[in-house]
Structure 1
Amino acid sequence: MRQKLVFLLLLFAGFSASAATFVTNVKGYTLDNDGTLISFSSLLIKDGKVQALDPDSQPDDVEVVDGQGKYMLPGLIDAHGHLLGLGDNLLKVDLRETTSEKDAARAVSEYALGKVDVNWITGRGWNQELWSDRAFPQKTSLDKLNIDKPIWLIRVDGHAGWANSKALAIAGIDKSTKDPEGGEIIRDAQGNPTGVLIDNAMGMVEKHMPSESAQVMEAQLRAAGEHLLSQGITSMHDAGVGHNVYTFYLAKAVAETLPLRVYAMVSATDPQLGSILERGKVIDPDGMLVIRSVKAYGDGALGSRGAALLEPYSDAKHQHGLLLTAQEDMPGLFNDVIAAGFQLNYHAIGDKANRLALDQFEKTFSDVGGKALRNRIEHAQVIAIDDLPRFAALGVLPSMQPTHATSDKNMAEDRVGKERIKGAYAWQTLIDSGVRVPLGSDFPVELANPFYGLHAAVTRQDRDNQPVEGWYPEEALTVEQAFRGFTLDAAYAAHMEDEIGTLTPGKWADFILIDQDIFAIPAEDIWKTQVLQTWIAGKAVFEGNKK
């Protein structure tokens, strides 16, 4: 589908100074400030903000926009993604659809043909769980391509990398190299590196790669911004940025050229974290950039068996996963971040990582306070049954990604077994316990389209409608609950519920027009929704195919 992009960054200058706009003839839905779903047919915008829903009469001296009977929703918020990572993914070789190791190598070869001017061949998206042999790939299949450049290909979840021999040699990785703490070098029967590096071992290669220039980040931001606006996403939470990206975002905010709203989490591993905390929160008055949180890293991913489990993996009895932050380092990290008034967002996928995080939050709240900061556990994927009620009790938000469940359903139970799976991807159980559940996609790990996430949350099915009854359907959400997760509760998780997340008077007029009524159609069709227009602060920033 060819689309006309209205993506002029200059549109964002002067967001707060504009004439009134009256959007009529829509079938609109929003939550009110209490979270109740309401409908409306017209929207009055002034100075970039919602002034009224369904005013009694058409105001004078306004620009009238005919919504042509289309469906209006608040701009959707992705509560966990990687903005420049998405842009990088869009600009590099994409291995998401590859069907085998050989197929992935072929895609690399085709991509490399036109890249004579690059020093490294990079890509992302391979997933051995979708290949027939379900085995990790080998450096030899890349070496056979005869590409005289280092090759580095990141697994779809970002927790493993696949290198050719040249990249391993640059990193100094051979048979005698020891595994780093929190990482693993996959080896063959003779102890030789196979080319796959897990979690912290990835840094052994990545530290030798060229640093990204401002020009590269500009290209990544533009590619990601165009894509997200076309998907109806007007705000996203960027889960882990280093100091270079931090300063890049500050410059873009000052220049008023951020393409969408960014709630950035500073990476806990960045050497300059202390100085960033000392500098304090960054809160743009136009709400385009907010930096008041830190992303920390508890464990790896389930697919690469890096998620930290209390008991061994059901399909690998000698493995418990990896802790990327040592347990003894957690008190200092939690206390320092929370005492500085920053929200702490802790990546935890396995039940051990989740329990350690909950334990440490409880201890830190007792020692230094900070419970009101709306601290989060990112992913909260596999949780011991006894730990599920602790999120609500501690006020820790489980920030979850519905499409992870439908992507993982073919391997998750293999990894953790029939008992532990009862506490996995437990969205409805968590909501019933009284905690808000902000939702996202974890793009580029998953596709960014939020309607894929809404569909997965409601049906517990993939886009082929499998399994027929849904995968553990008792944990499915209602459409309204899922909608809230991508709007009001995502805004709440960023301390922005007074500014965005609903189309109620006083909030920014961030909205989308779509082609079907997600509250009336069969749930199996939600993922087919097309975005026709995207608006931020009362300005059109994307226009798609007219229907």
Structure 2
Amino acid sequence: MRFPYPLSLLFALILLASCSKATEEQATLLIYGGPIYTVDSTQTTVEAVAVKDSIILFAGSMEEAEKFATAETERMDLEGKTMTPGLIEGHGHFMGLGVNELNLDLLNTTSYEQIVEMVAERVKTAEPGEWILGRGWHQSKWDSIPGETVDGFQTHDMLSAVSPNNPVYLSHASGHAGFANAKAMELSGLRVLPMEGLDMMEVEGGEVIRDKTGRPTGVFNERAQLLITKNIPEITNDQYNKAFELAVKACHRNGITSFHDAGIGRENIALYQAKKKAGQLNVRMYAMLTGWDKELLEEWYKTGPYVDPDHRLTFRSIKLNCDGALGSRGAWLLEEYSDRPGHFGHETLPMEFVKETAITGLANGFQVCAHAIGDRANREILDRYEIAIKGNPNKTTDHRFRIEHAQHLHPEDIPRFAELKVIPAMQAIHLSSDRPWAIDRLGEKRIVEGAYMWQTLLESGVPIVNGTDVPVEPINPIASFYASVSRRTLKGFPEGGFEPAQKMTREQALRSYTLDAAYGAFEEDFKGSIQAGYLADFTIYSQDIMTVEESQILDTQIAMTIFNGQVVYQAGSN
């Protein structure tokens, strides 16, 4: 047999190919020295992970991982700390997170008086006429009830007294209600005297809370908030960019490497695109187009979804806001509120539009994600999803429609999620915050049979996407993980947890923050698990969240965050 080339050339080519292969498989980073949970069913834990730039080369034994290392490979010893895939915030509001850090943060306030004191302090440094903004108050979480209330809410008098010349607007923690002082209402054409401006106080899909004389109390529910918010000056470009930077840093501090942004408009779309182009989008963004802007949806229907080959910024879903929150009694219920007879909450988006969007979105390749907290809202949305799915079977093999929150379900509707292959995106931390007072809204029967039904949904065969709904709750994933497995408040109440049969296992809870969250965004083939070929996004913890005593989970700190193969946060150095 004769070779077409000289043997020396053939051997050279073989050697070159061998060297090229070795170079291709050389790790730039080797991680070892602590528990590594992969969320990969073929091997749930590994000793070491080899990374080349932004991609995982190998996950397995230390002996095998060493084969990918060279003298140039960076070695990272976990020193007993624990590593998982990078955590995914499965439902939040990214710019809301950043803006919240610029304004008054009321999430930890425990009384109306404390809020008034915070506003009074801000008034001292505010310019005359400058708006004072904040978010995070929740009347059901206060330690004491204000002396004067209407429908369970405080009235504006104390707030107006400390800020007579500065308009004030403080968003409820849920974002589904707001609290204005007299100056803010005056600028909006609403007088605080009885019987003035009554024609403005009837708002479809919302409610102006008024006292017995007809006087507005300062609380605006659901779409009635627009009466005030339309007058708030737009955020400046400098503030906008600062809020973005703060949001990225907050994600990194909390071990978050990916973020499902639940409803954004043109301004945020343009901002994210610009930040990606500038190399500053250092959180993987799965952005949902807001359903409030019909023209925006029509434009995207024509162009179709955009799936980013760089896995930084993807647009392939639509967010619909279909009811309110339980705390503000805006969640849309089948039966009246237990603590407000005759009131059923609010349908904040016409169901005809939900049906139209489900049909048109499906036809154009878009996932539809609908906010629903109350049992009626969930049922109505499932009905519209079913119409779209059954009406277009050629498009339904992998639609992955979602219901955001799915907090309170009628028992008859629980099996429908699996039957229709609808994904519930449920924020476990809401149970810790809401369950102590939610029973007042719904009564024990509805709570036990249909609220926060995590295990029942999982056993039916659907994945759960976890998260925090930041800035409704702090973005802290450790708190949501703890809520998932304990079903207790963050103070550890009650012993054994609320409705303990619905607890997640720790494996389920971790999966809901990683691989199942990736699945909820069509991204499970390249992230959410530690295995060869997946993105090198990792979260590292101060202790082993999978084995530590339940009572110690909340002591866990994020020790390090690795994004795209690079350390972007390290405790004590940022």
Aligned with 1:107 (options 96, 115, 118): 118
Determine if the alignment matches structure 1 residue 181 to structure 2 residue 204: yes
| Structure 1 counterpart of 2:470 | 443
Contact 2:107–2:473 (Cα < 8 Å) also in 1: no
Aligned with 2:173 (options 156, 162, 180): 156
Determine if the alignment matches structure 1 residue 22 to structure 2 residue 42: no
Q: Which moved more, 1:158-167 or 1:209-218?
A: 209-218
| Structure 2 counterpart of 1:4 | none
Query: 2-side partners of 1:75 and 1:56: how far apart?
Result: 20
Contact 1:403–1:457 (Cα < 8 Å) also in 2: yes
Aligned with 1:57 (options 54, 66, 86): 66
- Give the 3 Å change call, closer, same or farther, for CA 276–141 of structure 1 in structure 2: farther
Aligned with 1:133 (options 145, 152, 166): 145
Deviation string, structure 1 residues 314-338 (Cα, Å, up to 9, x no partner): 1111100000012233222222222
Query: 2-side partners of 1:522 and 1:70: how far apart?
Result: 16
**CA displacement at 1:259 relative to structure 2:** 2.6
| Structure 2 counterpart of 1:12 | none
Aligned with 2:436 (options 410, 424, 427): 410
Q: Which moved more, 1:277-286 or 1:457-466?
A: 277-286
Where structure 1 has 5 or more consecutive residues not aligned to the other structure, the ranges are 1-15
- Give the 3 Å change call, closer, same or farther, for CA 206–368 of structure 1 in structure 2: farther
Structure 1 SS opposite 2:122: helix
Contact 1:222–1:259 (Cα < 8 Å) also in 2: no
Query: 1-side partners of 2:211 and 2:464: how far apart?
Result: 42
Query: 2-side partners of 1:505 and 1:226: how far apart?
Result: 28
Deviation string, structure 1 residues 155-202 (Cα, Å, up to 9, x no partner): 011010000112112222344123211000000111111110000001
Aligned with 1:66 (options 68, 77, 87): 77
Contact 1:459–1:524 (Cα < 8 Å) also in 2: no
Structure 1 SS opposite 2:89: strand
Contact 2:50–2:65 (Cα < 8 Å) also in 1: no
The residue type paired with residue 45 of structure 1 is V
| Structure 2 counterpart of 1:273 | 297
- Give the 3 Å change call, closer, same or farther, for CA 86–395 of structure 1 in structure 2: same
Aligned with 1:302 (options 326, 331, 336): 326
Aligned with 2:523 (options 496, 499, 502): 496
Contact 2:48–2:65 (Cα < 8 Å) also in 1: no
| Structure 2 counterpart of 1:165 | 182
Determine if the alignment matches structure 1 residue 356 to structure 2 residue 392: no
Structure 1 SS opposite 2:511: helix
- Map 1:283-302; keep pairs closer than 5 Å: 283-302=307-326
| Structure 2 counterpart of 1:251 | 274
Structure 2 SS opposite 1:144: helix
Query: 2-side partners of 1:524 and 1:402: how far apart?
Result: 17
Structure 2 SS opposite 1:161: strand
Structure 2 SS opposite 1:527: helix
| Structure 2 counterpart of 1:7 | none
| Structure 2 counterpart of 1:3 | none
Q: Which moved more, 1:267-276 or 1:180-189?
A: 267-276
**CA displacement at 1:147 relative to structure 2:** 4.3
Contact 2:86–2:562 (Cα < 8 Å) also in 1: yes
Determine if the alignment matches structure 1 residue 122 to structure 2 residue 128: no
| Structure 2 counterpart of 1:218 | 241
Number of residue equivalences: 529
Aligned with 2:498 (options 471, 484, 487): 471
User: Counting helix residues as a fraction of each chain, which structure ranks higher?
Assistant: 2
- Give the 3 Å change call, closer, same or farther, for CA 56–305 of structure 1 in structure 2: closer
Structure 1 SS opposite 2:162: coil
Contact 1:214–1:248 (Cα < 8 Å) also in 2: no
Q: Give the TM-score taking structure 2 as reference length.
A: 0.89
Determine if the alignment matches structure 1 residue 378 to structure 2 residue 386: no
Contact 2:427–2:467 (Cα < 8 Å) also in 1: yes
- Map 1:181-200; keep pairs closer than 5 Å: 181-200=204-223
Query: 2-side partners of 1:511 and 1:308: how far apart?
Result: 39
Root-mean-square deviation (Å): 1.9
**CA displacement at 1:467 relative to structure 2:** 0.5
Q: Give the TM-score taking structure 1 as reference length.
A: 0.93
| Structure 2 counterpart of 1:8 | none
Aligned with 2:337 (options 313, 331, 337): 313
Aligned with 2:93 (options 58, 65, 82): 82
Query: 2-side partners of 1:117 and 1:69: how far apart?
Result: 55
Identity %: 39
| Structure 1 counterpart of 2:49 | 43
Query: 2-side partners of 1:224 and 1:448: how far apart?
Result: 10
Deviation string, structure 1 residues 237-265 (Cα, Å, up to 9, x no partner): 01111111011111111222113111111
Query: 1-side partners of 2:121 and 2:47: how far apart?
Result: 50
Structure 2 SS opposite 1:152: strand
- Give the 3 Å change call, closer, same or farther, for CA 523–326 of structure 1 in structure 2: same
Aligned with 1:207 (options 211, 218, 230): 230
The residue type paired with residue 23 of structure 1 is I
**CA displacement at 1:114 relative to structure 2:** 2.8
- Give the 3 Å change call, closer, same or farther, for CA 158–414 of structure 1 in structure 2: same
Query: 1-side partners of 2:497 and 2:27: how far apart?
Result: 48
| Structure 1 counterpart of 2:556 | 529
Query: 2-side partners of 1:146 and 1:445: how far apart?
Result: 25
Contact 2:57–2:532 (Cα < 8 Å) also in 1: yes
| Structure 1 counterpart of 2:21 | none
The residue type paired with residue 431 of structure 2 is A
Query: 2-side partners of 1:74 and 1:112: how far apart?
Result: 44
Q: Which gives a bigger RCO, structure 1 or 2 (Cα 8 Å, sep 6+)?
A: 1
The residue type paired with residue 57 of structure 1 is E
The residue type paired with residue 407 of structure 1 is S
Deviation string, structure 1 residues 26-76 (Cα, Å, up to 9, x no partner): 3211111xx466111211111311000133534224222222232111111
Structure 2 SS opposite 1:106: helix
Query: 2-side partners of 1:117 and 1:91: how far apart?
Result: 19
The residue type paired with residue 45 of structure 2 is S
Where structure 2 has 5 or more consecutive residues not aligned to the other structure, the ranges are 1-23, 147-151
Query: 2-side partners of 1:72 and 1:447: how far apart?
Result: 22
**CA displacement at 1:120 relative to structure 2:** 1.1
Q: Which moved more, 1:182-191 or 1:205-214?
A: 205-214
Query: 2-side partners of 1:103 and 1:280: how far apart?
Result: 48
Query: 2-side partners of 1:76 and 1:37: how far apart?
Result: 19
Q: Which moved more, 1:435-444 or 1:366-375?
A: 366-375
Contact 2:155–2:219 (Cα < 8 Å) also in 1: yes
- Give the 3 Å change call, closer, same or farther, for CA 168–477 of structure 1 in structure 2: same
The residue type paired with residue 301 of structure 2 is L
Contact 1:37–1:480 (Cα < 8 Å) also in 2: no
**CA displacement at 1:117 relative to structure 2:** 8.3
**CA displacement at 1:405 relative to structure 2:** 0.8
**CA displacement at 1:275 relative to structure 2:** 1.2
Q: Which moved more, 1:95-104 or 1:273-282?
A: 273-282
- Give the 3 Å change call, closer, same or farther, for CA 112–40 of structure 1 in structure 2: farther
Contact 1:299–1:350 (Cα < 8 Å) also in 2: yes
Query: 1-side partners of 2:184 and 2:515: how far apart?
Result: 45
Deviation string, structure 1 residues 496-538 (Cα, Å, up to 9, x no partner): 1112101111011000221111111112221221111100111
